[in-house]
Amino acid sequence: MAFKGDLFKKIFAKELGTGLANSINDLRDKEFSGIKLSPEERFALSNFDKYRITILNSQENEDHFHQHYRQLQVIANLTDWHEFLKEEYHK
């Protein structure tokens, strides 16, 4: 499973002007709006949620938990949801 730092590198390495990809949070907004998600989109959401829980549960103190929680918020807002279709997130 990729470490969240690798995801940050991917996010900030993208060239400006290529447009923003749909993020995990965009999928959540879509679902909350009553629009049915495709099986692929649901799978990506499920994989992100598992990844998020794994990262947060592995923290040993409250400060680290909050730091990782904030980083996961950025990932959910900026990372293309297709990233979470990769095999490394659904092992």
What would the pLDDT profile of 23-50 be if each residue is shown by its tens digit?
999 999 999 989 999 999 999 999 999 9
Whole-number pLDDT of residue 12: 55
Count each helix (H run) and each strand (E run) in the chain, helices first.
Answer: 4, 0
Average pLDDT over residues 44-73: 96
* Mean predicted lDDT score pLDDT of the chain: 84
Q: Residue 65 pLDDT more than 90?
A: yes
**For the chain, how many structural domains are there in total?**
1
Tokens representing residue 25 in the block: 């949070």
Whole-number pLDDT of residue 90: 80
Q: If pLDDT is split at 50, 70 and 90, which confidence band does 89 have? A: confident
Residues 6+ apart with CB under 8 A from 6: none
Whole-number pLDDT of residue 27: 94
